[in-house]
Amino acid sequence: MRVRMSWTDRLVDRLLEDPTPSGAWGYRSGTSPCAEPTSLACLALSARGVEPKTWGKGLAWLATVQQEDGSVPVSSGIPGPAWSTGLAVLAWLQAGGQEEGRYAAHIKKATGWLLATRGIRLSPNTEVYGHDVTLQGWPWVKDMHSWVEPTSYAILALRAVGQAGHPRVREGARVLLDRALPDGGWNYGNKRILANTLRPFPATTGIALSALAGEPSGPATGRSITYLTQVLQGVRTPLTVGWGLIALTAWNARPAAADDWLARSAARAADGQPNTLHDALLLLAGLERCPLAPATPRKTHG
């Protein structure tokens, strides 16, 4: 009799079958290795108890592409952009107990780069911008303005290495809270363009909420948790379900139907071409304690 595999086993097997010859992962089968899918694949396989020999080459590849300044570019052979540095730090940290600090020097260099990197300030203009353009988080590309996702990845990494109280992290959290939309959620980083209030993106909302887990709860996070919980009831795309449930779990707001949503999303993903980013996020979202955002929120002050 044929034994039916669980969705987690199926996705783990897909990841194990699909690294590039370097041991790292591209976004899809047959594509060049990149830092984001490699970092998330290593995190997912490690957290799922898979032996390090199967994902350790991915960590080593991240180390080989790290630049002298500590940054980790999105792919090999290019110096930037390096918004993926925070994700690489999170992946290296998973090797700490098994590799006897093998990546400690890489983490230290990457942490230094993250602390030194900041988005540029713009001149305030309330007729054009709906957010505080003087706050500095992290940019997608060097010498550009700060945006939600790179700021979130940097905060997650810096909190993980014990820098939660650093002024850069504190300002980064203010950036995210300032960019939250009036009715909840986040998009790429604007609240308003001219007279138009923009709409939230569920996956980006999950990323921002994950970065803010551990911060005091407040109106912006409360509205965003409500928004994300509602939108997840009708969406099964892996990116949204993955980041959405990672965030809600970190905020102790994981819905009772989460396991069913994950199984349905994984079933749809399994019918298509393997996508490392999607498979890894779903595996991470199925954990009770995700290494991307394991913090439990503190009580509101006052």
Say whether pLDDT at 2 is over 80.
no
The C-alpha angle 47, 53, 56, rounded to 5 degrees, equals 70
Average pLDDT, the chain: 91
pLDDT tens digits for 161-203?
999 999 999 999 999 999 999 999 999 998 888 778 889 999 9
Confidence at residue 55, expressed as pLDDT on a 0 to 100 scale: 92
User: Would you tell me which CATH number, out of the four given (3.90.730.10, 1.10.580.10, 1.25.40.20, 1.50.10.20), belongs to the domain 1-116?
Assistant: 1.50.10.20
CB proximity list for 80: less than 8 A, separation 6 or greater: 71, 73, 74, 141, 142
pLDDT band at 129 (very low <50, low <70, confident <90, very high): confident
Range with the poorest average pLDDT among 30-34, 96-100, 115-119, 247-251: 96-100
Measured CA to CA in angstroms, residue 260 lies from 14, 53, 248 at distances of: 20, 31, 15
Q: Is the pLDDT of residue 297 over 50?
A: no
Q: What is the pLDDT of residue 143?
A: 92
Can you say whether residue 211 is alpha, beta or left, with left for phi > 0 and alpha for psi between -120 and 50 degrees? alpha
* pLDDT of the residue at 301: 31
21 preceded by cis ω (within 30°)? no
Position with higher pLDDT, 197 vs 110: 110
- Residue 81: the pLDDT is 97
Which H helix or E strand runs over 196?
strand 196-197
134-148 pLDDT, tens digit per residue, is 999 999 999 999 999
Confidence of residue 296 (pLDDT cuts 50, 70, 90): low
pLDDT, residue 98, reads 60
Q: Output the pLDDT for position 100.
A: 56
The structural domains of the chain, with segments of one domain joined by +, span 1-116
**Cα separations (Å) of 67 from 75, 110, 113?**
11, 9, 10
The two structure tokens encoding residue 228: 């994300």
Name 109's Cβ contacts closer than 8 Å, sequence gap at least 6. 66, 69, 70
